[in-house]
Every structure is written in structure tokens, then in C-alpha cells.
Amino acid sequence: MSQRIDPNFTLELEKFGISENNECFHCGTCTAACSLTEKGVIFPRKQIRAVQMGLKETLASSVEPWLCYFCGDCNEQCPRDAKPGELMMSLRRYLTSVYDWTGISKLMYKSKLWEFIFIFLIAAVVLILSIIFMHVPAEAERLTSQGGVALNKFAPVDLIHLGDMVIFILLGGLLISNAFNMYYKVILKTKVKVSLGTYIKELGSLIWNFGTQWKFRKCDGEKTYWFIHLLLMTGYVTLLVMIVVFLSWFQTDIIHPWYHPQRILGYYATFGLMLGVIYFMIKRFRKISESSKNSHFTDWTFLVLLLLTTITGILVHIFRINGLAMPTYYMYVFHLMVLTPMLLIEVPFSKWSHLAYRPLAIYFANLKKAALKKEGKL
């Protein structure tokens, strides 16, 4: 398949964090050192070559950047210090913008200003809606018979649930449409002939890799990273499900005992989020691994938003069960002002979208390999 070469492509990619790509002279050491490459799926040398040649369509149809979990071996072994792992990480940012048909992801990855504009604009909308629809109840109605804060008197659970569903539908629509765009570029546009049976057969790997992120364990010395990443992901998913699906059970004026499932799930989600955020922040502050030596500004934005979401959620809980009405109300609004932009920005356009793209990439790679085997080309 012929394609137009873009000589200015590397200049565009630099805005996504890619640098040093011209240092590579294709010795193949990075590919040989990588524990994740396999027959039919070779990286990162192949992607470096595509970047150097300006092959935008080749990169857009490539799943390999998602199959790289940045173990760091390629960076350590590279004789030219070309930082192939950094390039693969930057390509994941670029591909996220390629799949996003709205163009928002590209704006945020290329400009700090635009990312901050989106964050503060969404936070301002949440504040305005809170002023309009939430009202501080009379002092006599602020506490429940158990001594806790009557949060639903301030923020009616039905109203909040409606807002949750609107956000959930919006996020789902954006993420699914972006994922279909990925499928179009990787499978349909490249004219890979995949049978219906193969699609069904490989669904198990899609579900398994989404639920476990198991590929992280193939990186030497990354078992701790995988475990904490799993805690962070499951904590986030647990909290999301409780907020979107079971909000009336989760946001209640009843103060359950500590061993109640509602509180246990809440504590698990909080623990997973807090541990994950602290772990990854320490790694980036101390630059203790290859994957954390160079951070894009969006990496820090994600961690800060997640940290603020977790801390404000903890404070709302503490204030509520101790009967501190006004601190609960103010902190609840601030919590929503952080949580909402974190969801609307990170899920479809930035870091959280990787949770969908990685397992989809493995799924599509398996489909391609099955098709090539059937044709006798692998």
C-alpha cells in the first residue's frame, strides 16, 4: 500500500514528547532486548523507522505502541541513547489523538494552556450547576438521627444520579466511537480478512487483558508495578460503578458500620487510588526507573487530578460521619469540581483511555496474527 511521506511529521511528534529519534541507526538491540516482542509483533525498531520516514498511515494502523509496557530494557541497552521506550510512550499519546475524532485530545497533548482551559471550564460549569440546584438546608435539617450529615438534603441523590448518567453516556459514546476509529484504522483500513469465528474466539483475551493488565508481568522487575497498577485500576472501576450504577446505595444519609459492604468497597477503592497515586508520584519525583525519568505534563495533570479527587472524597466522608455539615457541603462541591473534569478529560482523551486501548490492541494483534496464519504468511 503506497502512502504519502510527510517530511514534517517528526516536528509534529515532538509536541507529543518524542525526541532523539534521529539518533537511532537501527542496530536492532532494542528489539532483541525487549521481553514483549514476538513473532508477527516486533517493536520498537519498526516504529522508529516509520517515524523517521514520516509514515503517518503506517503508525496510525500500528498496535505495537500499545503492546509496549515500557519495561525500560530498550532504553538501557541502546548504544546510541535514542530512548526507544520514550518514543513508544510518546506514540501512545499521538495515537490517542489520532483515534479521537473531536480533536480535543490533540489540543490537550500539544498545549498546557488548552488542557488547563478544559479543566477550569468544566469545573466552573459544575460550580454554577451546584449553585443553581443545590441548597443548604435549614440548620435543624442538616443532621440525621444518627448524627451524620444529611447530604441528600443538600445534593438530592436523584439529581446527582441524573448528572452521573448524562456523564456516563457522554463518556461511553466518546470512548466507544474512538475505539471504533482505532478498529477502522487497524483492521478495516488495512483490509485484514478476519472471520467471525476468530472475532469470537479472541474475545476471551480481550476481557482477560482488560481485567488484569497481565502483560505488565512480562516485564522483568515490574511485578510490583503491575500489582499497584491493578489496585489503582480496580479501585477506580469500583468507585465508578458505585457512583454511576449504585449511587442511591452509595450516597446515603445512613451511616453504616465499618464492615458494611458499602463502606468496605468505598475503602477498597480509596486505598487503591491513594496507593497508586502516591506510588506513581514518587516514581516520577525520584525518577527511579526508565519509564519515570521523563514525564509529559499530562502525566502530572492526571496524577494531580486523581490525588485531589481521592483526598476530597476522603474529606467528604470524614466530615459527613462526624456531623460537620457546612464543611461536608463545601467539600462535596469541590469534590465534584475535581472529579468531573478528571472523568471528562482523562477517560476519553487521555490516560484512562489507555485502559481500553491496550487490551483492544492485544485483541487486534491476535486477529491480525490469526488472519496471517490462515493465509500462510506467518
Q: What's phi and psi for 367, nearest 5 deg?
A: -65, -45
Among residues 201, 220, 188, which one has the least CA distance to residue 73?
220
Task: Encode pLDDT of 156-202 as tens digits.
Answer: 989 998 998 999 999 999 999 999 999 999 999 988 889 999 999 99
* Rounded average pLDDT over 9-24: 80
pLDDT of residue 95: 96
DSSP 165-216: HHHHHHHHHHHHHHHHHHHIIIIITTT----HHHHHHTHHHHHHHHHH-GGG
> CA 11, 16, 20, 21 torsion: positive or negative?
negative
Mean pLDDT of 111-138: 95
CA dist 291 and 295 (Å) reads 8
Q: 253: pLDDT confidence band, cut at 50, 70 and 90?
A: confident
What was the pLDDT predicted at 33?
87
pLDDT at 24: 85
Cell numbers standing for residue 213: 493488565
Q: Which of 107, 106, 100 is nearest to 185 (CA)?
A: 100
Provide Rg for the chain, Cα atoms. Answer: 23
Asked if the model's pLDDT at residue 140 lies above 60, the reply is yes
- pLDDT exceeds cutoff 80 at 3: no
Average pLDDT over residues 9-37: 83
Q: Look at residue 216 and tell me whether its pLDDT is greater than 90.
A: no
pLDDT confidence of residue 288: 78
Total residues belonging to the chain: 378
Instruction: Please give the helix or strand (H or E) that residue 344 lies within, else none.
Output: helix 325-349
On average, the pLDDT of the chain sits at: 89
Residue 9 has pLDDT above 90, yes or no: no
Alpha-carbon distance 116 to 133, whole Å?
26
Residue found by looking up cell 489496585 in the block: 231
List pLDDT tens digits, range 290-328.
888 888 899 999 999 999 999 999 999 999 999 999 999
Does residue 217 surpass a pLDDT of 90?
A: no
- Of the listed ranges 15-29, 46-60, 71-85, the one predicted with least confidence: 15-29
Instruction: Give me the mean pLDDT over the 337-341 stretch.
Output: 95
Q: What is the pLDDT of residue 223?
A: 72
The three cell numbers of residue 210 are 482488560
pLDDT higher than threshold 70 for residue 103: yes
In whole angstroms, what is the distance from residue 96 CA to residue 106 CA?
Answer: 8
Q: CB neighbours (10 Å) of residue 126?
A: 21
The pLDDT of 236-258, averaged and rounded, is: 86
The stretch 261-283 carries a mean pLDDT of 93
What whole-number percentage of the chain has pLDDT above 90?
56
| Percent of the chain residues past pLDDT 70, beyond the cut | 97
pTM of the model: 0.90
Residue with cell 486477529: 367
- Asked whether the predicted pLDDT for residue 1 surpasses 70, the reply is no
